[in-house]
Structure 1
Amino acid sequence: MTHEEAFYIGYITKTKGLKGEVQLYFEYDEPELLDLDVVFADINGKMVPFFVTVCKLQTNGTGNIYFDDIDHIDKAQPLLKKKIYLPLTKMPDRSDDEFHYTDLKGFIVSDESHGELGEIIEVNEYPQQFVATVAYQNKEIMFPLNEDMIVEIDEEGGTLMVDLPEGLLDIYLSN
């Protein structure tokens, strides 16, 4: 399996106890919807499968997991800080009326002051917020996607109207 055939759900934060249990921090919004029988860890750029024998979801966005063949802390240690993925085929279905910031990729962005900026080429999720990347005047500009900046989203037209803070574009264009 390749990275293109998978979606990111979180990473291993620490080992727990001596019997190979690890803690997985979920960056996926609704971990209870995930089918966690097999997960894939990114180890040196390769997607390595791990079969889950026990998974106990916690209320703090983590899960305690035991994997097949990992029955000791020494075997679990190499998994620390590894990113964990699931195949795209296991991505939970969303209802049609659900809209996520990541759905904005490919939308054309216009700013109230500067007019059309260009197409959103990437939407990244960071711990505090989502950030859009747009190619504008041959430079990549980034801005947060939040209710303070978004004026209007036209899903059918594929456009996004924003009100960027004064001076934000100047930071990128001045170099």
Structure 2
Amino acid sequence: MTIEEAFYIGYVTKTKGLKGELQVFFEYEDPELLDMDIVFAEINGKMVPFFVSSYKLHTNNTGNFYFDDVDHIEKAQLLVRKKIYLPLSKKPERDEDDFFYTDLVGFVAMDRLLGELGEISEVHEYPQQFVAAVSHKGKEIMFPLNDDFIVEIDEDHKILNVDLPDGLLDVYLND
């Protein structure tokens, strides 16, 4: 399987105990909807499968996992900070009314003062927020996607209207 055939759900944060237990932090919004009998870790650019022998989800977007063949802390330690994926075939169906920040890829970002910034090429998911990447005047600029900066999302015309703080883009545009 390749990374294009999978979707990102989170990453391994740490080991727990001596018997290979791992803690996973979920960046996927509803981990309880996922079928996690097998997960894939990105290791050296390859998708490596791990069969899940048991897991327990917690309310703080984490879960404790045991994988088959990972039965010691030394084996588990190799997976810390690895990204975890599931095959696209296991991605839960979405209601057509659902809209996520990642759906903004391809939208044109328009700032209240600066006008058109450019097309959103990527939306990065970080533990605390989503960040949009836009090519503006030949440079990649990034800005947080949150209720403080988003004025309106026009889904029909694929336009994201934002009101970015003064000086935010200067960090990227000044040489």
TM over 0.5: yes
Match of 2:104 in 1: 104
In structure 2, relative to structure 1, the CA distance for the partners of 1:167 and 1:13 (3 Å cut) is: closer
- 1:23 is aligned to 23
CA–CA distance in structure 1, aligned partners of residues 98 and 83 of structure 2: 26
Partner of 1:137: 137
Give the aligned partner of residue 127 of structure 2.
127
Q: Which residue does 2:3 correspond to in 1?
A: 3
Aligned 1:74-93 pairs, distance under 5 A: 74-93=74-93
Give the distance between the partners of 1:89 and 1:57, measured in 2 at CA: 22
Which residue is equivalent to 1:167?
167
Counterpart CA distance in 1 for 2:171 and 2:55 is 46
**For residue 65 of structure 1, what is the aligned residue in structure 2?**
65
Q: Equivalent residue of 2:98, what SS?
A: coil
Q: Kindly tell me the number of residue pairs found equivalent between the two proteins.
A: 175
Cα distance between partner residues in 1 of 2:14 and 2:142: 32
Confirm whether residue 43 of structure 1 aligns to residue 58 of structure 2: no
Displacement of 1:70 in angstroms is 2.1
Distance between the aligned counterparts of 2:67 and 2:43, measured in 1?
16
**Aligned AA (2:14):** K
TM-score (norm 1): 0.93
In structure 2, runs of 5+ residues without a counterpart are none
Distance 1:23 1:172 in 2: 36
Report the more deviating stretch, 43-52 or 67-76. 67-76
1:15: Cα distance to partner? 2.1
Q: TM-score normalised to the size of structure 2?
A: 0.93
Among the aligned pairs, what percent are the same residue?
A: 70
Name the CA distance, whole Å, in 2 between partners of 1:146 and 1:14.
Answer: 29
- Provide the C-alpha distance between the structure 1 equivalents of 2:77 and 2:168, rounded to a whole number of angstroms: 43
* CA separation of 1:139 and 1:59: change in aligned 2, threshold 3 A: same
Alpha-carbon distance between aligned partners in 1 of 2:140 and 2:74, rounded to the nearest angstrom? 43
Deviation at 1:72, TM superposition (A): 2.5
| Structure 1 position 3, deviation (Å) | 1.1
Within-5 A mapping of 1:147-158: 147-158=147-158
C-alpha distance in structure 2 between counterparts of 1:102 and 1:116, whole Å? 20
The one-letter amino acid paired with 2:173 is L
Structure 1 range deviating more: 66-75 or 41-50: 66-75
Cα drift, residue 127 of structure 1: 2.2
In structure 2, give the amino acid aligned to 1:91: K
Alpha-carbon deviation of 1:150? Answer: 1.1
- Runs (4 or more) in structure 1 with deviation over 6 Å come to none
**1:81-133 superposed Cα distances (whole Å, 9 cap, x missing partner):** 21111111111111111111111010011111121111001111122211111
